[in-house]
A = this chain, B = another copy of it.
Amino acid sequence: MADKKLGVWLVGGCGNVAATAILGLVGLQKKLAPTTGLVTELSDFSALPLAEWDDLVIAGHDIRTPNLRATVGRLANEQVVPRELVEACGDELSEIDARIKPGIAYKAGDAIRALADVSVDDDATTAPRTLVSRLQNDLESFIEANDLRGAVVVNVASTEPPLASELPERWEAFDALLDEPGAAIPASTLYAVAALELGLPFVNFTPSAGASFPAVEELAKRKKICHAGQDGKTGETLMKTVLAPMFAERNLEVLSWVGHNIFGNLDGRILDNPENRAAKVATKDRVVGGTLGYDPQTLVSIEYIESLGDWKTAWDHIHFRGFLGTLMTLQFTWQGCDSALAAPLVLDLVRLVDVARRAGEVGAVTSLAAFFKRPLGADCHDFARQHARLLEWIRSTAQQMG
């Protein structure tokens, strides 16, 4: 089995993040891309038995007709990925297109459903279980057809609106609910259930609900499989979790922290929808108070500015009080390319949860908190502490597996 390859199943396989990850992986496999931005390529990680880039096979689901060549061509125009790489990898991208299957948009909200150009399930009359079964068929066929030793399922699809109603806390009731037509369980969670039931690890790189429910955690534990999430920490929030501890450790009192984010990719267009944005703002906004231990006034805004494309600019203004009450200010402007920041972390997480699975971890892998805005099962938002914990996990896991 060690000789078999590992599947990478991307939910939202046609989006910018997926396309950048796919192009990057092909580039790594063809020795055309450097390893910059890949955390697992740092020397600290060399003790782990990570899957080789050559051993990864990519596929996925999407509610749009796949055309990865066109997508990365657009990304090259937006200066997100290099045109030479796009031109060198055309054949591989077309092959991957053929492995991207029609996804689901069940209870994913109007903004997301409006993106679909494949036929999507009716929100009112479909029983979620039907969809889970369809997803599982796709996953099993992929594994069988490619003779894989398994697969890691990663959600990089658009952000769903937050759930209005409560879901059952125990798996048994949750499982029963899956059979009810129109039951309010969002697509991201159905993907999680589909993966975990098959004993495949699930990674939720988005703010959508995914595996964040107690019942799904129970499912993971029953199936003795691990998962990780939620919402990849790539830019402004990463900065917050790096800077907030500095204020705390210097006993400087943060009075207010304003973050204003503007960008123009599809993710931004979906988040321009107030209900979808609510989910995102929730994961971005809690880290400051969580790190400081008190709650200064915070404000996070996310705005869709079309001309910026995939380039996200965040302006943060931090107002703080020092010795003898003196008021001071820190401002930063982060000009990052969203997909180029997210894509390598997606590839890193595939490798890391694969190791976690092989090491026998069950439920949310809290040692991977450094990768997420809202780390499942972990309280700490302080990036340096999260990183220290990750290093400790590497040491103990390497020792255990060694």
Contact = CB atoms under 8 A, between A and B. Distances in A.
Nearest to A315: B315
A252 to B, nearest CB: 6
A79 B82 contact: no
Given A242-B242, A324-B23, A305 B256 contact: yes
Contact of A305 (B243, B258, B313, B343): B258
B313 A315 contact: no
A378 interface: no
A12 interface: no
A276 interface: no
A328 B321 contact: no
A100 B344 CA distance: 46
B303 A299 contact: yes
Interface in A77-103: 79-83, 85
Given A260-B260, A332-B332, A39 B301 contact: no
A274 interface: no
Given A262-B317, A323-B24, A324-B27, A36 B330 contact: no
22 contacts: A24-B323, A24-B324, A33-B324, A34-B325, A36-B325, A79-B326, A238-B246, A239-B246, A242-B245, A256-B305, A258-B260, A258-B262, A262-B317, A297-B305, A308-B319, A322-B340, A323-B341, A328-B336, A328-B337, A329-B334, A332-B333, A384-B385
